[in-house]
């Protein structure tokens, strides 16, 4: 992954707003760059590149926006894992059905 300047994407967006002749080429370049770098950003965010040398090298090459994106992806993944792994309360509908069945069986036992 090549090293890009700290605010590569923000600078590109400002250039696009200037209505210059090469704006379309600048936009295409920004999109191409992001698409090529996104898999590595995801890998960093999910921690699948766990070797510390890999992580350090990648962090030095990230644009500020890419770093923020990796951070958000990582936080979202952690939150998803917490929600997925927490104990779910019993289904209230199932509890109510079980309660009503027990009441019916008690009524039948008393009436016989």
Predicted confidence (pLDDT) per residue in 70-87, tens digit? 888 888 888 888 887 776
Tell me the C-alpha distance between 22 and 90, whole Å: 60
User: What letter would DSSP give residue 41?
Assistant: H
> What is the Cα–Cα distance from 109 to 55, expressed in whole angstroms?
68
Read off the pTM: 0.58
Residue range 84-100: mean pLDDT, rounded? 70
Domain ranges of the chain: 8-111
For residue 9, the model assigns a pLDDT of 84
Least confident of 16-20, 29-33, 37-41, 106-110: 106-110
């Amino acid at each position: 992954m090549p090293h890009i300047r700290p605010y590569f994407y923000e600078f590109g967006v400002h250039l696009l707003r200037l209505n210059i002749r090469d704006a379309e080429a600048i936009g295409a370049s920004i999109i191409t760059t992001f698409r090529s770098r996104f898999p590595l950003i995801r890998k960093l965010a999910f921690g699948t590149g766990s070797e510390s040398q890999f992580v350090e090298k990648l962090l030095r090459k990230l644009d500020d926006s890419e770093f923020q994106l990796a951070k958000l992806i990582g936080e979202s993944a952690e939150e998803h894992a917490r929600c997925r792994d927490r104990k779910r309360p019993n289904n209230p509908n199932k509890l109510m059905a079980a309660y009503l069945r027990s009441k019916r069986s008690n009524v039948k036992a008393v009436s016989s």
